[in-house]
Amino acid sequence: MAVKVEAVGVGKRYDGRRPSDAIVALRDFTLQIFAGEFLAIVGPSGCGKSTFLNAVAGLERIDEGRLFMDGVPITKAGADRGVCFQDFALFPWMTVRENVEFSLEAQGRPRAERREIARKYIELVQLSRFEDRYPYELSGGMKQRCALARLVAGDPAVLLMDEPLASVDAQTRLILQNEILRIWGENRPTAQRKTVIFVTHSIDEAVFLADRIAVMTSRPGQLKEIVVNPLPRPREERLRGEPTFSRLTMDIWDLIRDAAVKAIET
Amino acid sequence: MAPMRWPRRTLLVLILLAVWQWVVPHIVTTGPAFFPLPADVADGFTSLLGSARFWRSVVTSVGRVLAGFTVATAIGVVLGIAIGVAPRVEAFVDLTIEMLRPLPAMAWIPIAILWFGVGDVSSVFLVALGAFFPIVLNAAAGARTTARDYGKAALTSGAGPWLRFRRVTLPGALPWVLLGCRVGLGVGWMVIVSAEMVGAQSGLGFLIMEARSFARIDWVVACMIVIGLIGIGLDSTLERVQRRAAPWWGRVAA
């Protein structure tokens, strides 16, 4: 399988006001993400998961190591790497349709074409009745759907999701997990799927969604282990009740627990 | 502000007027020449509303405020947005703005009269000066906040600088700009009355000074009330514009 995104010995440091305040968010972080795979990153709070995602997005500079996409060093943000932010970051002055159209507008597509593509994705996330509404008129789950439609409308090769379901309620969360798989294109052959890097706090979410789960150490974040998920695709709801599902969730929790406890205490 | 509930909103005003009319005369006994009662002021009002002088003064003052406000908005919005998006512009003008800002517009009256003489230009200058700072600071805060909250989303959508400016920075900063305009217009309206008391031969401020020299204290108070009412009118107009232009403003973050 082709490597889509590659991190080699990546380090990131945030300087504080005094040298003793400096925080090392990532140290010697090495990871390969394959084309068409759904990779989840889990780890204790503050382990640098989001920092890594932002670095791949080109929103943050790294201090050490190298970061490649398709073998080319990542230096800045680009439309080939779409980001779904934790707080959605929908543009509140744009309607659902305008939000979804924005990346197409950035590509300079003509209006009619934009509208047609946006309509397709709005339909995909079941927001057709709300396409002329503004974000403040939507529920949390609908905002998240809108953010997903905006993410995929511009057809980026890599989807970067930073805890996209952290702020919706538990039931909506389960529903949206299925939607994410559908939007990602679980039913298509691997070669036609997009590459996803999905950062989450929730271990069972990672187990339900991902092909592989990268487990990180506490700060400074390093790769602790990569867990290959044996669950078959398409992922069906009943898998949540399977022994394999619980065992995998437990195994990953075992890898994180000590660090997670420490993260709370410090 | 909640939707207008006139009965409830006017209640306190009516109570104060009643106390003033019927209670105060028993305590203050200097007579209406020093302490006009609401009924006297109402008489003064009637004669004032019938005079062409008064209406000319209103038009003059409002015209000066709008002229100064327009100048302040034009410069303030452009400079404010530039400060908000370009740290280099901010570094360049920041100290100058912070040094001039604490000076009340009134402190400029002598210089305004020296430079522009007594009349329209002086008044417009002072209004513009007073209105400028809230406008420029709010515009800068709006552009900066928009970049912080939505800049990453715009960048990762692949938008170039012009599209980001046009579709993200400007609409995101708009409600802040309008807020600054509201505050600026209020300040401008406060400034004009004082400016006209000293630096002009016309307008409501001048009319107040003139009424005082004729010992028409009822006119003085009537003019003060008119000034207050026009202030409310100007502010609520801009408030309506703000609600129309950015209905999302102040709602739950998206």
Each residue of B111-156: pLDDT tens digit?
Answer: 999 999 888 999 999 999 999 999 999 999 999 999 999 999 999 9
Return the minimum-mean-pLDDT range out of A229-233, B66-70, B127-131.
A229-233
Give chain A's mean pLDDT: 90
A79 and B163 within 8 Å at the Cβ level: the answer is no
Name every residue whose Cβ is closer than 8 Å to that of residue B222 and which is 6 or more positions away in sequence: B41, B44, B45, B48
Best of B150, B156, B178 to disrupt the A interface by mutation (most A CBs within 10 Å)? B156
- Residues 127..166 of B with a Cβ closer than 8 Å to A: which? 149-150, 152-160, 163
Chain A environment of B153 (Cβ under 8 Å): 83, 85, 89-91
- pLDDT classification of B252: cutoffs 50, 70, 90: low
Task: Beginning with the edge strand found earlier in the chain, give each strand of the sheet holding A81-84 in spatial order.
Answer: A81-84, A158-162, A195-199, A38-42, A212-216, A223-228
Q: Mean pLDDT throughout B11-25? A: 88
Q: What is the mean pLDDT of chain B?
A: 90
- Model ipTM? 0.85
Burial zone of B123 (CB within 10 Å; 0-12 exposed, 13-18 middle, 19+ buried) = buried
Which chain A residues are within 8 Å of B142, Cβ to Cβ? none
Q: Does A91 reach chain B within 8 Å, measured CB to CB? A: yes
Q: Which residue has the higher pLDDT, B252 or A75?
A: A75
| B159 to chain A: closest CA residue | A106
B149 and A106 in contact by Cβ < 8 A?
Answer: no
CB contact under 8 A, A89 and B174: no
Does the pLDDT at position A97 exceed 80?
yes
Q: CB contacts < 8 Å between A and B, how many?
A: 82
Sort out which chain A residues have CB atoms less than 8 A from B157's CB and list them. 79, 82, 102-103, 106, 150, 154
The pLDDT of residue B1 is 47
Chain A partners within 8 Å of B254 (Cβ): 88-92, 135-136, 143
Closest chain A residue to B251, measured at CA: A136
Q: Using a CB–CB cutoff of 8 Å, tell me whether A89 touches chain B.
A: yes
Interface residue of A81, A91, A146, A148 to substitute, partner B, most B CBs within 10 Å: A91
Whether the link from the prior residue into B110 is cis, omega within 30° of 0, is no
Mean pLDDT over B219-226 rounds to 90
For residues B23-40, average pLDDT: 80
Cβ of B158 within 8 Å of Cβ of A106? The answer is yes
Residue A23 backbone zone (phi > 0: left; psi -120 to 50: alpha; other: beta) = beta
Contact B173, B45 (CB under 8 A): no
When pLDDT is averaged across residues B29-48 and rounded to a whole number, the result is: 83
- Could you tell me the CA-to-CA distances from A52 to A15, A156, A159, A222, B148 in Å, in that order? 17, 18, 14, 10, 19
Q: Which fold has domain B51-253?
A: MetI-like fold (1.10.3720)
Q: Cα dihedral sign for B221, B226, B228, B229?
A: positive
Interface of A with B in 116-135 (CB under 8 A): 134-135
> Is it the case that residue B5 has pLDDT exceeding 80?
no
The DSSP 8-state label assigned to residue A221 in this structure reads B
Pairing of strands A212-216, A223-228: antiparallel
**How far is residue B53 from each of residues B58, B63, B224, measured CA to CA in Å?**
9, 15, 16
pLDDT score of A100 more than 90: yes
- 0.90 exceeded by pTM: no
Contact A89 B153 (CB under 8 A): yes
According to DSSP, residue B23 is labeled: T
Q: Answer with the residue of higher pLDDT: A260 or A208.
A: A208
Q: Where are the domains of chain B?
A: 51-253
Can you tell me the distance from the alpha carbon of A13 to that of A17, in angstroms, rounded to the nearest whole number? 13
pLDDT higher than 90, residue B80: yes
pLDDT of residue B247: 86
Residue of A nearest to B171 (CA): A93
By the CB < 8 Å criterion, does B253 face chain A? yes
For residue B19, the tally of other CB atoms under 10 A from its CB is 11
Domains of chain A: 3-80+156-265 (3.40.50.300), 90-155 (no CATH)
Q: Are A59 and B155 in contact (CB under 8 A)?
A: yes
* CB-based contact B150 A89, cutoff 8 Å: yes
State which residue of chain B sits closest to A100, comparing Cα positions: B157
CB B156 within 8 A of CB B124: no
CA B154/CA A163 separation, integer angstroms: 19
pLDDT digits over A31-84, tens only? 999 999 999 999 887 788 889 999 999 999 999 999 999 999 999 998 899 999
State mean pLDDT over A184-199: 88
Closest CA–CA distance from residue A237 to any residue of chain B (Å): 30
**pLDDT at residue A266, as a whole number:** 65
Q: Which residue of B has its CA nearest to A60?
A: B152
For residues B200-224, average pLDDT: 90
What per-residue confidence (pLDDT) applies to B151?
92
> Mutate which of B157, B170, B242 to disrupt the A interface (most A C-beta within 10 Å)?
B157
Q: Is residue B197 over pLDDT 80?
A: yes
Between chains, do B152 and A85 touch, taking CB under 8 Å as contact? Answer: yes
Nearest to B156 among A77, A136, A143 (CB): A77
Angle separating helix axes B204-213 and B170-199, nearest 10 degrees? 30
- Cβ separation of B163 and A88 shorter than 8 Å? no
Q: Check residue A232 and report its DSSP letter.
A: -
Work out whether strand A23-34 and strand A38-42 pair parallel, antiparallel, or are unpaired: unpaired
b/e string for A98-118 if b means 16 or more Cβ within 10 A? bbbbbbbbbbebeeeebbebb
